[in-house]
Structure 1
Amino acid sequence: MNLVLAKAAMDFCIAFGVIIGGSLMAAVGSVLVSGSAATAMYDTAMRLKIWAIVVAIGGTIDPVRVIEYNMQEGHLSPVAQQIMFIGFAFLGAHMGTELIRWICRESL
């Protein structure tokens, strides 16, 4: 059980980091070309959300295959774990996006 929670925490942190890191780098790039850093951060965070989830769960179709195979075989525990991993990745991406939205709210 500890390994499952550790992987879920890693998925959360990876998705969160993709949003925060990508948005901050977009702000740096925007400043270098004399653009609005807050707008670049916000737009990038919104566009990166789905990709942060994909990166966190492995970037391949394997989690979907695990769900499909185990569902057909009647093994629901691995299915629940994969759905939980996707949920934690979504939660990390969403919280990262909300943090960027909160940071940029005064500037937009």
Structure 2
Amino acid sequence: MLQETFFFSIFKAFFIAFGVIVGGSILGGFAAFMTNKPMLTETYELSANLRIWAIIAAIGGTFDTVYSLEKGLMDGDTKVLFKQFLFILSALWGAQVGFSLITWLTQGEIKG
């Protein structure tokens, strides 16, 4: 089994968070359309509500990240701390870009 490089993991975290936001919002908007609810409003609201879940999915759950952060803080391993910070930052950025795309596509919060 090949070991993932650091930069591959950073890009993977970004695109997983981005995909959770965009995919979940679009499929949820389709479900809203099928149940006769306002599709654009539901799509926008789903993208806002899915952000934390996208970040958690992108970093692979919270326990590994918390353990790595604890190891970095308690053992003084700044390299591990910096890597975990970049993973979390990449996931945050992916979720924000996905949310911005959905906001742009739906023109913000549309009531009606």
Q: TM-score, normalised by structure 1?
A: 0.94
How many Å apart are 1:60 and its aligned residue? Answer: 3.1
- Indicate the structure with greater helix content: 1
How many Å apart are 1:71 and its aligned residue? Answer: 1.6
Instruction: Kindly tell me the number of residue pairs found equivalent between the two proteins.
Output: 107
Aligned pairs for 1:36-51 within 5 A: 36-51=38-53
**1:59 pairs with 55, 61, 75, which one?**
61
Letter of the structure 1 residue corresponding to residue 74 of structure 2: Q
Equivalent residue number for residue 83 of structure 2: 81
How many Å apart are 1:107 and its aligned residue? Answer: 7.5
Identity of aligned residues (%): 34
Query: Cα 1:46–1:107, aligned 2, differ >3 Å: closer, same or farther?
Result: closer
**2:94 pairs with 86, 92, 95, which one?**
92
Equivalent residue number for residue 72 of structure 1: 74
Provide, for residues 50-84 of structure 1, a one-character-per-residue CA deviation record: whole Å limited to 9, x for no partner.
00000000023111111111221111001100110
Provide, for residues 20-44 of structure 1, a one-character-per-residue CA deviation record: whole Å limited to 9, x for no partner.
0000111110110111110010000
SS, match of residue 58 in structure 1? coil
Q: Which structure 1 residue ranges, 5 or more long, are not aligned?
A: none
Q: TM-score, normalised by structure 2?
A: 0.91
SS, match of residue 100 in structure 1? helix
Q: Which structure 2 residue ranges, 5 or more long, are not aligned?
A: none
Letter of the structure 1 residue corresponding to residue 103 of structure 2: R
Distance 1:55 1:92 in 2: 11
